[in-house]
Amino acid sequence: MRASLCSPLMATNSIMWFRKGLRIHDNPALEYARRDSNHLFPVFILDPHYLEPDPSAFSPGSTRSGLNRIQFMLECLFDLDSSLRKLGSRLLVLKGEPFEVLVRLVKEWEVKKLCFEYGTEPHYQTLDKQVKEYACSVGVDVYTPVSHTLFNPEDIIEMNGGTPPMSYQSFIKLAGKPSSPRTTTITSLPPIGSICDVEMLRVSTIKELGYGEITEEVFSPFKGGESEALKRLRESLDDKQWVASFEKPKGDPSVFLKPATTVLSPYLKFGCLSSRYFYQCIQDVYKNVKKHTSPPVSLVGQLLWREFFYCAAYGVPNFDQMKGNRICKQIPWNEDEELLAAWREGRTGYPWIDAIMVQLQKWGWVHHLARHCVACFLTRGDLFIHWERGRDVFERLLIDSDWAINNGNWLWLSCSSFFYQYNRVYSPTSFGKKYDPTGKYIRHFLPVLQDMPKEYIYEPWTAPLSVQKKANCIIGRDYPKPVVDHVLASKECKDKMAEAYALNRENNGIVSEGDLKSLRRKLEEGCQSSNSRGQKRKTTS
């Protein structure tokens, strides 16, 4: 556990700075903050860069986040405030640039102890270094425990000789068992002292943040907060046989009213649920069943995947981009804004892909196998568009968007890192059909196809015109034609990936911008030649 103690002075006034870790249970920073403190100030800082409305963005929300995640975060804050009030305290909400706000609070409130959860993302690393340096310079005791993850990524990297393990299995061998969650039950907190002239806000609503009147049905059906997280955890773990037999590849991505998974990822992302507590609860279930699945496919295995990506992200510079990322294949992805927009807005003409993207827009969440399908389609499967562009869309729209995991998954699914079997492609028609042959999922999220017969629901462009008319859905008018021919596009993508892999191999992974431009020109010329031959064959026939 990471703890940075800059001053041995006994604290009288303490700040508990909430960022993630929006919970009371298993919160070592909160436990340390309340210890030997006469007054405790629980603080959350609304960063305007994160929350101010951005009308130029492709979906409602701020520059950094879609509306669903902002609403989810506000629900987390409402719930945290409610929990703190039951303990004799409350959440103090301020607005401004976090470092500047904290400097003022330390001075105004005569703070001697500052506690917050350790952050592994580059943004937090930069900010926290600045905060710690200031705090230590004025004699403030700083405590920053690692509690958002099961393991401290630094420890894993040190055990691996200074670099993060690049395979799941090697990570598992190094990691061992995580520490147990804190079992201390907090029954009361020190009172809040005088807040002086510091302007406080209550937990804002979406309307108060400047987003206007928005109806309830616009938001995700998954509500934020520690209370909801613990309730969902109990409900998931009550079915012990389901927990014991959980096997990730066998989940059904088409089930949406009651998803075939826990939907606990948003709560882990915001720290409403302690990953250590979740891990321990699963272990308790395992003790009471005859047999259970094992990592990587088990429920515990999914938590360890989260840890694997956190460790890789922490230890690899430029993890969130292709350029300058030593573990990322350099690939000359296409730049096609129209195709990107069609994918993002659910207008590809492939109902399975479009329904997933519509659910993502509306709910801020989709099943992990559904995410795999649309990520593959955008990148190496059909459209050959840069994984960073897809990552940006997920980062904005997902309520569980997590920097390390989101980037890790896009690297994986684009076959840029971790996974390299680019010939294995998700079909945008047959994959969904094997789970949902009648197309209930598609009909729900794409009501324009509500009356399309099941024989054509996954490939409506193949329906005779008479069938389209009867279904009140003319392809090309009411619903788009496919933006690409999957069979041809998939073959082209595989050929391009093969060329890119060969270039990376020849250059031992050191591929220059010039190399990429040359390969891009070669691939474009090859595509044009192929299209010309195809057109000639059509004309001849």
Q: Which residues are annotated as a binding site for FAD?
A: 261-265, 302-309, 400-402
- The CA distances from residue 314 to 14, 123, 162, 324, 492, in Å, are 29, 11, 12, 15, 35
Q: Output the DSSP codes for 126-173.
A: HHHHHHHHHHHHTT-EEE----SSSS-HHHHHHHTTSS--SSHHHHHH
Residue 326's φ and ψ, nearest 5 degrees, are -65, -20
Paired tokens of 443: 């009909």
Residue with tokens 């059509």: 538
Look at residues 73, 12, 14 and name the one whose alpha carbon lies nearest to residue 40: 14
Paired tokens of 9: 């002075």
Look at residues 251, 246, 247, 239 and name the one whose alpha carbon lies nearest to residue 288: 239
> What is the C-alpha to C-alpha distance for residues 249 and 211, in angstroms, rounded to an integer?
39
Cis ω before 259 (30° cut-off from 0): no
Please report, in range form, the residues annotated as the binding site. Answer: 261-265, 302-309, 400-402
Paired tokens of 214: 């928005």
- Show Cβ contacts of residue 341 under 8 Å, excluding neighbours closer than 6 positions: 58, 347
- Show Cβ contacts of residue 491 under 8 Å, excluding neighbours closer than 6 positions: none
Output Rg (C-alpha) for the chain, integer angstroms.
25
- Show Cβ contacts of residue 29 under 8 Å, excluding neighbours closer than 6 positions: 16, 21, 115, 116, 117, 143, 144, 145, 147
Residue 141's φ and ψ, nearest 5 degrees, are -75, 125
Residue with tokens 């969440």: 365
Give pairs for 194-200: CB < 8 Å, separation 24+: 194/109, 195/41, 195/92, 195/108, 195/109, 196/108, 196/109, 197/108, 198/94, 198/104, 198/105, 198/108, 198/109, 199/94, 200/92, 200/93, 200/94
Give SS3 for 108: helix
> What is the C-alpha to C-alpha distance for residues 37 and 189, in angstroms, rounded to an integer?
9
Residue with tokens 């629901």: 457
